[in-house]
Chains A and B, each alone.
Chain A
Amino acid sequence: MTGGVDQPTDAITPTGDGAQAAVFDANLDTLPAANLWLSARCAALNIVAKTAFALELCLEEIFVNVVIHGGAGHVRLSLERDQDSAVLRIADDGRAFDTVAAPAQRVKDPLDTNAIGGLGIGLVKQFARALHYSREKDMNCLTLEIALIAP
């Protein structure tokens, strides 16, 4: 792990989403630390179990995609909330990839394992109320808005 809270690196620049951000090396070994950071942020923002589960699922799917397919060096995370939603921002310095435009798979045919590859993006699109992607300064910037769910 490169750093914790408030440790932007030269490789990945702040995106104007406030101070409560963290930067992680983009590899699967740091995913538990990223999850831990997310869990702590959820607790700090009083985001409860069901919404936290949705956030964790989205983080896992995007983080894994960035590591396996994106060739990124770092991933920057921030999480904020407003009245009725949690906003998770994920930025990475890997190859350009528009998650919003990417096809979302769902298992259609009985036990067609060919469809498994795109299940993660499909889950993200269903769990998130809104998704926004932009490519800024050679970085993928993905914003996920997830409805706050009552416990």
Chain B
Amino acid sequence: MGHLAFVVKVSYAAPKSELFTLGQVVALMDMQVVETEAGLTHIVLDGRMDVAGAQAVDLKFSVLAGSRKKIIVDMAKVSFLASMGLRTLMFSAKTVAKKGGDMVICGADENVEKVLRMSGVDEVIRIFPDFEAAASALSA
């Protein structure tokens, strides 16, 4: 990864009642944004892209999609993805594509990738196994 220009961290301030740690249910969503020297915007998501998670990052996603042309969404730390999360990804990808840019996804685990493929999202947003493969494709 290239030079770290700046990092934006968005944390969903969940009410205490939602801060369960039993099982996989943790209502937190972090989003870090790294600008690389190669001109790529690397968005690292960490948490659950459920209703609360999607709401937590939706606005920041919209801002980035409206102002960046090459975006890699890193989902390696995303443990859950549902249709509200797909909605956020799709709207952002559409915004980027309208400007002639490209948004891709990398690092999704088996469950998350299954959701991307079953929904057909993988047919309109390219998926790569890791950041390096995604960066290589966007830099080509």
Chain A residues with CB below 8 A from B124, complex form:
107, 109-111
Which of B23, B87, B110 has the largest count of A CB atoms less than 10 A from its CB? B23
Digit string of B107-123 for contact with A (CB within 8 Å is 1, else 0)?
Answer: 00011000100111101
A122 within 8 A of B: yes
Chain B residues with CB below 8 A from A127, complex form:
118
Interface of A, secondary structure class, is: helix
B106 within 8 A of A: no
> How many residue pairs at the A-B interface have CB separations less than 8 Å?
88
B25 within 8 A of A: yes
- Cα-based distance from A113 to B91 in the complex (angstroms): 7
Q: Could you list which residues of chain A lie within 8 angstroms of chain B, going by C-beta atoms?
A: 28, 31-33, 35-36, 39-40, 42-43, 49-50, 52-53, 56-57, 60-61, 64, 106-111, 113, 116, 119-120, 122-123, 126-127
- Cα-based distance from A49 to B110 in the complex (angstroms): 11
Query: B118 touching A123 by the CB < 8 A rule?
Result: yes
Chain B residues with CB below 8 A from A122, complex form:
118-119
